[in-house]
């Protein structure tokens, strides 16, 4: 049976930026892959748009002000059941509650209060997709397949073409083998549409 790996958004907030390397190490030790990462400084307008679901709540102005006050690190994390796994690792939004219900969670370890609570995580699949697209405009959110599905895909769509390319590479023996193979694969990509050249009749 194939397993689909989820993606979720993670943010290291301004209050925890000095602990970013420690937090990233914890993320990796808990089996997450960091697919994408960037450091950004949100404008108040961007922070307001990102947290639009909290619009109208009493803490909304202070949240927007805080999240636009300094740079943050945003990451796309990947793992089986990533959304729930990340939520469990970071703990409840209130660090004081996290200390009771999720000891040693990230918010227990690094959070200061309900706004300055060190990290952010997507609450569900819909929010993960929206938040990833918000902060990584070019992100592709197709399912990541592992185990048998990945093996089947390689055997049906990759290996045969790659084998032909490697065979030609051995025949030609170019000086720059990597560049030659890259060019060959680009020309011989079976998924690339073939464009017929237009024949221009002489006048």
d(CA 79, CA 86): 9
Contacts of 181 (CB under 8 A, 6+ apart): 165, 166, 169
Out of 30, 41, 102, 120, the active site residue is 120
Q: Which two tokens stand for residue 110?
A: 């690094």
> Token pair 């309900």 is at which residue?
114
**120 catalytically annotated:** yes
d(CA 33, CA 47): 26
* Cβ burial, residue 87 (10 Å; 0-12/13-18/19+): middle
- Enumerate the active-site residues: 120
């Amino acid at each position: 049976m194939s397993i689909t790996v989820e993606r979720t958004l993670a943010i290291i907030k301004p209050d925890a930026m000095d602990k970013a390397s420690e937090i990233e190490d914890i993320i990796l030790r808990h089996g997450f892959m960091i697919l994408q990462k960037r450091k950004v400084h949100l404008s108040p307008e961007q922070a307001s748009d990102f947290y639009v679901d909290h619009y109208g709540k009493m803490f909304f102005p202070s949240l927007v002000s805080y999240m636009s006050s300094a740079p943050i690190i945003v990451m796309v994390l990947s793992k089986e059941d990533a959304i729930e796994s990340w939520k469990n690792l970071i703990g409840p939004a209130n660090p004081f509650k996290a200390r009771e219900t999720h000891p040693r969670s990230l918010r227990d370890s690094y959070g200061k209060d309900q706004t300055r609570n060190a990290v952010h995580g997507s609450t569900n699949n819909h929010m993960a997709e929206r938040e990833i697209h918000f902060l990584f405009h070019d992100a592709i959110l197709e399912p990541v397949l592992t185990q048998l599905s990945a093996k089947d895909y390689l055997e049906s769509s990759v290996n045969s073409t790659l084998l032909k390319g490697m065979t030609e590479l051995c025949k030609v023996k170019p000086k720059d083998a990597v560049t030659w193979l890259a060019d060959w694969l680009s020309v011989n990509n079976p998924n690339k549409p073939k464009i017929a050249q237009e024949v221009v009749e002489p006048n």
